[in-house]
Amino acid sequence: MTIISAAGLRKDFTVRVKAGRLRRERRTVSAVDGVDLAVERGEMLGYIGPNGAGKSTTLKMLTGVLAPTAGEVRVCGLTPVAQRTRLALRIGVVFGQRSQLWWDLPLRESFGLLRHIYRVPSADHAARLRRCRALLELDAFLDTPVRQLSLGQRMRGELTAALLHGPEVLFLDEPTIGLDVVSKQAVRGFLAELGATGDVTLVLTTHDLADIERLCRRLVVVDHGRVVHDGTIEELHGRYGSRRVLVADLDAPLPAGFAVAGATVEAVEADGHRVQLSLDGGVGAGTVVAALAGAAPLRDLSVREPAIEDVVARLYRS
């Protein structure tokens, strides 16, 4: 069942640019330019793109805080802007760079307030809070005012705050930004567990591709307000021809003219003692290693998986 659908979604902004000493011209900029999207219930979707690609703008239109210039949007069967307050009861939003907690109040009181604002029955609230407390280890700072929390602690509080009313869709806008490795892992682990239940649909925008690799099977890449890829990470690799790389250290220089089917010699370094070969899709590293070993004695080798960063960087540049 489709829980989020967008067709031809567009958002134009009018900006004034200097044109001469006093004159200013109005120019229309499309932040989002015809995005089509369909997300199924329970899906975990990664939504990525370079800075200014239109990710946050799309998210704001999906959550109803920004009116689209054109196009159709439905989230949980509602029209986001027109039915914003009703939609708010059914979605949760975490902005990595914003806070929805009360700065001066202890975390516990912020959660209590949200229960009233979202009209959550107290048994449901207690059960959800108990689960978050256990999974996100909140107990140590539940009574600390939000202003005194570290970023990692606050983000765990934000995640809890977004989930206490049992949302059907959770929108996460850069939830791991600025977090240390341990906190990032805690947040990812929690989201993975949440996604595994299948009760919540996750839409995640991030610049940290490790978040995506860990959490999302489906990846939507936007650039200049347009969707440039919509599919799995593997499909992305396939489409952009990313290849595994085999690095071998040899005891003797590699004979000139060495060639093996299914692999390309990318570089020969250290007077022929180190070679880098990129492997075609479907070719086993074993065959290439055997051929190499036949040509020169092997000392050491490693195989590098294609990095999603490289693919995405190529995508952004293209």
Partner 1 sequence: MHGPTATADWISWPRVRAFGALAAAGYRRHSTYRQAAVAGATTNVVFGFIKVYVLLAVVAAGGAAVGYDRRQIVTFVWVAQGLLTVVLMWSWTELSERIRSGDVVTDLLRPLPPVVAYLAEDLGRAGQAVLTRFLPPVVVGALVFGLYVPGRWFTVPLFALSVLLATVCSFCCRYLVNATAYWLADARGPIVLWGVGSGVLAGLYFPLRFLPDPVAVALWVATPFPGLMQTPLDVLVERDGPALQCGLVALQAVWAALLLLACDRTQRRAERRLVLQGG
Query: What's the min distance (Å) between Cβ of 249 and partner 1?
Result: 45
Query: What's the min distance (Å) between Cβ of 98 and partner 1?
Result: 5
Across 41-159, where does the E strand assignment appear?
44-48, 70-75, 91-95
Radius of gyration of the chain (CA): 25
Query: What's the min distance (Å) between Cβ of 29 and partner 1?
Result: 11
Query: What's the min distance (Å) between Cβ of 77 and partner 1?
Result: 15
Options 117-125, 133-141, 239-247, 267-275: segment touching partner 1 (CB under 8 A): 117-125
Does residue 117 interact with partner 1 by CB under 8 A? Answer: yes
**Residues 18-57 contacting partner 1, CB under 8 A:** 51-52, 55-56
109/68 Cα distance (integer angstroms): 35
44: exposed, middle or buried (Cβ count in 10 Å: 0-12, 13-18, 19+): buried
Instruction: Determine which residue in the list 42, 50, 69, 105 makes contact with partner 1, applying CB under 8 A.
Output: 105
Does residue 102 interact with partner 1 by CB under 8 A? Answer: yes
Does residue 221 interact with partner 1 by CB under 8 A? Answer: no
Contact pattern from residue 268 through residue 307 relative to partner 1, giving x for each residue in contact according to CB under 8 A and a dash for the rest = ----------------------------------------
- Residue that the structure tokens 């075609």 belong to: 280
| Collapsed DSSP state (helix, strand, coil) of residue 60 | helix
Distances (CA, A) of 51 to 112, 174, 223, 224: 36, 12, 9, 10
Does residue 142 interact with partner 1 by CB under 8 A? Answer: no
Does residue 7 interact with partner 1 by CB under 8 A? Answer: no
Q: Give the residue from 240, 174, 166 showing the smallest Cα distance to 204.
A: 174
Residues in the chain, overall count: 318
Count of CB atoms situated within 10 Å of the CB of 248: 21
Instruction: Determine which residue in the list 24, 27, 116, 299 makes contact with partner 1, applying CB under 8 A.
Output: 116
Does residue 17 interact with partner 1 by CB under 8 A? Answer: no
Residue 50 structure tokens: 């370079």
Q: What sign does the dihedral 28-34-39-84 (CA atoms) show? A: positive
Residues engaged in binding partner 1 (CB under 8 A) = 13, 51-52, 55-56, 60, 63-67, 82, 84-86, 88-89, 91, 93, 95, 97-100, 102, 104-105, 109, 112-113, 116-119, 145
